[in-house]
């Protein structure tokens, strides 16, 4: 980088063949995308740069009329390269490296004096182009399942956690796993290593669809509470990294125009401190259940307890014998008929707490 190197993150410092799936959560402008693409440029095989939607990839691509918002722009400037994204099919975008080479050619010319045809050598500049990979939107990857991605061994999924105002893709977590299946195919059955899948995001929402699908919301919440920056699932080939910015980086960012404006806001906490600041953890707590009685449960996993004589409710994983409702349309309807109004009123009165953020979001999705 043309920047102070130790201020920024290099995701390839975490590379480990035991963990083909690596998730990197970090603040804005910390070098996640820059380092990911920098390493991908030097990758000997093809790579995929993935975004969530077709619109995002369209905006990044060049066409015959104008240049896109190229994610390689700063790398090109700093390294003297020319990488770009160009639409090569209806829903397929190719990442090209462009350069020029001088070539010597032979040319037939007529000698003005002798009138004879002579062969001379001339140096010309030739435009060169090489494909390095693909830029693909998650939202349309199902329509390119017939494509052969056997030349790809690295996938970079940038901004996989959408900002709060951005529309979500239906069943997004499953869509991410299906995308990997489409690209990776059966290479492991043929004795080849799995495709590396690096997912990058800012700390916009701990309750994002991928974390829900993988069942790791509670684990990431515990990482936050305990100040743990790295968690490795050896049996799943998964690593989670909550990237820490250097104090020097945070100090410099705080003095920029935007972060002076956004001082002491949730945006600043998310971007500078890598906190899931848009998620409200104020009512997340662990409680001893002495003096509480079970009301009901959902899927025998989430249990609602009421403190005797107080009107307080605590939602927990602690198991008990009580009426159980399924987390489906019929089960939720039955819960609302029996307990919904009372529990909702307790919530409105601010008398409900939750053992984890995942429990909280599940209950709120039922009540609201």
pLDDT digits (tens, 9 = 90+) for 82-140: 999 998 877 789 999 986 667 777 778 887 777 788 787 777 666 678 899 999 999 98
Fold (topology level) of 5-95+132-266: Rossmann fold (3.40.50)
Are 335 and 292 spatial neighbours (Cβ–Cβ below 8 Å)?
A: no
Are 39 and 75 spatial neighbours (Cβ–Cβ below 8 Å)?
A: no
Residue 83, classed as helix, strand or coil, is: strand
Residue closest to 67 by CA, chosen among 75, 78, 58: 58
What DSSP string describes 133-158?
A: EEEEEGGGGGGGTTS--TTEEEEEEE
Determine what percent of the chain is predicted with pLDDT higher than 90: 63
Does residue 2 have a pLDDT over 50? no
pLDDT of residue 39: 94
Does residue 335 have a pLDDT over 50? yes
Mean pLDDT of 50-70: 84
pLDDT of residue 200: 97
Q: What is the pLDDT of residues 12-35, one digit of tens each?
A: 999 999 999 999 998 777 789 999
Burial of 252 (0-12, 13-18, 19+ CB in 10 A): middle
Q: What is the pLDDT of residues 244-298, one digit of tens each?
A: 765 555 566 666 776 677 676 756 664 555 567 778 899 999 999 999 999 999 9
Residue 213, classed as helix, strand or coil, is: helix
Q: Where are the domains of the chain?
A: 5-95+132-266, 292-367
Tokens of 31: 């070098």
Number of residues assigned to the chain: 368
pLDDT of residue 30: 76
As a whole number of angstroms, the longest Cα–Cα distance in the chain is 116
Q: What is the pLDDT of residues 179-238, one digit of tens each?
A: 999 999 999 999 999 999 999 998 889 999 999 999 999 999 999 999 999 999 999 999
Query: Is the whole model's pTM more than 0.85, yes or no?
Result: no
């Amino acid at each position: 980088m043309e920047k102070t190197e130790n201020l920024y993150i290099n995701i390839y410092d975490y590379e480990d063949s035991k963990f083909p799936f690596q998730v990197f959560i970090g603040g804005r402008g910390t070098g996640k995308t820059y380092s990911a693409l920098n390493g991908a440029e030097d990758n000997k095989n093809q790579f995929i740069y993935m975004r969530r939607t077709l619109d995002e990839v369209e905006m990044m691509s060049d066409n015959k009329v104008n240049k896109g918002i190229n994610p390689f722009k700063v790398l090109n400037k700093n390294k003297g390269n020319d990488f770009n994204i160009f639409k090569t099919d209806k829903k397929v975008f190719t990442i090209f490296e462009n350069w020029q080479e001088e070539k010597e050619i032979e040319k037939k010319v007529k000698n003005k004096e002798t009138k004879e045809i002579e062969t001379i050598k001339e140096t010309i500049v030739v435009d060169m182009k090489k494909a390095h990979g693909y830029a693909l939107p998650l939202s349309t990857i199902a329509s390119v399942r017939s494509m052969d991605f056997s030349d790809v061994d690295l996938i970079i999924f940038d901004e996989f956690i959408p900002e709060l105002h951005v529309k979500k893709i239906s069943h997004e977590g499953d869509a991410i796993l299906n995308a990997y299946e489409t690209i990776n195919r059966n290479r492991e059955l043929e004795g080849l290593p799995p495709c590396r899948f690096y997912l990058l995001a800012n700390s916009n929402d701990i309750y994002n669809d991928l974390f829900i699908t993988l069942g790791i919301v509670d684990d990431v919440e515990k990482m936050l509470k305990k100040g743990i920056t790295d968690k490795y699932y050896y049996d799943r080939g998964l690593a989670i990294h909550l990237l820490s910015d250097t104090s020097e980086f945070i100090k410099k960012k705080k003095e920029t125009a935007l972060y002076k404006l956004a001082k002491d806001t949730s945006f600043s906490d998310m971007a500078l401190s890598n906190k899931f600041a848009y998620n409200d953890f104020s009512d997340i707590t662990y409680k001893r259940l002495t003096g509480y009685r079970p009301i009901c449960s959902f899927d025998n996993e989430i249990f609602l307890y009421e403190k005797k004589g107080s009107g307080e409710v605590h939602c927990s994983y602690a198991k008990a014998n009580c009426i159980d409702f399924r987390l489906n349309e019929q089960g939720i309807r039955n819960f609302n008929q029996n307990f919904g109004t009372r529990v909702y009123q307790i919530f409105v009165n601010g008398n409900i707490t939750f053992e984890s953020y995942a429990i909280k979001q599940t209950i709120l999705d039922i009540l609201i």
